[in-house]
Homo-oligomer: A and B are copies of this chain.
Amino acid sequence: MSAGGTTLERRVLDAAKTCCEKWGVAKVTIDDIANESGVSRASLYRLFPGGKDVLFEALRLQELEDFFTRLSAHVEGADGLEDLLVCAVVAATAELRADRHLALMLASEPGETLGHLTVDGLPRIMRVATVFLAPFVDPYLPRRESAALVELLSRLVISYFLAPSQHVDLGDPESARTFIVTHILPAFDAALIRS
């Protein structure tokens, strides 16, 4: 995590994202990214030794961090654990749904994309989610518990996003609140830090 990244690196990754939005990951070439970013192919390989794979890996990482940065901002003002969780879950779901990039990727190459969202990517998603969101939960729960809670909810958000349920809609504040109050919070009640 961290590392602001050179201006150049950012420029390249942004260009890569733009290209993906236009054509879908599968169809983007190094040349496309070089043209879009105005960075020469040579520099591009210097920046990401290993080429395409490394570059896209870096892009996924950046996207992931950006995602949670935006999410953190959303969650900033929440008051109380329940509100905090509802807000986070709703915002995350909404953003996943609104992400045209992601939608296009899922539409064009479900296999790859699903892989990055599940088997390959989940551990990392969990890690980043914990780093970003646990601090918000920490005031209410002991460290271990808050990490566990963040992980649990992250998994559920992704699951409900990929396979929507008829009963629960985590994009809807009402539904999300009901779900969290009845199915999540009770399990953590014992550990609650009452201040």
Measured CB to CB, the residues of A under 8 A from B are 22-24, 26-27, 104, 107-108
Contacts and interface: CB of A to CB of B under 8 A. Distances in A.
A88 B104 CA distance: 32
A27 B108 CA distance: 12
Contacts of A27: 23-24, 27
Nearest to A21: B107
Contacts of A23: 23-24, 26-27, 108
Q: Could you say how many copies of this chain the assembly holds? A: 2
11 contacts: A22-B24, A22-B104, A22-B107, A22-B108, A23-B23, A23-B24, A23-B26, A23-B27, A23-B108, A24-B27, A27-B27
Q: Is the contact region of chain A dominated by helix, strand, or loop, or is it mixed?
A: helix
Nearest to A109: B22
A26 B22 CA distance: 11
A22 B105 CA distance: 9
Given A22-B107, A24-B27, 7 more contacts: A22-B24, A22-B104, A22-B108, A23-B23, A23-B24, A23-B27, A27-B27
Contacts of A22: 24, 104, 107-108
Nearest to A32: B27
Contacts of A24: 22-23, 27
A127 to B, nearest CB: 32
Contacts of A104: 22
A53 to B, nearest CB: 20
Contacts of A107: 22
A35 to B, nearest CB: 12
Of all A-B residue pairs in the complex, the 8 with the closest CB atoms, nearest first, are A27-B27, A22-B108, A23-B27, A23-B23, A23-B24, A22-B24, A22-B107, A23-B108
Contacts of A108: 22-23
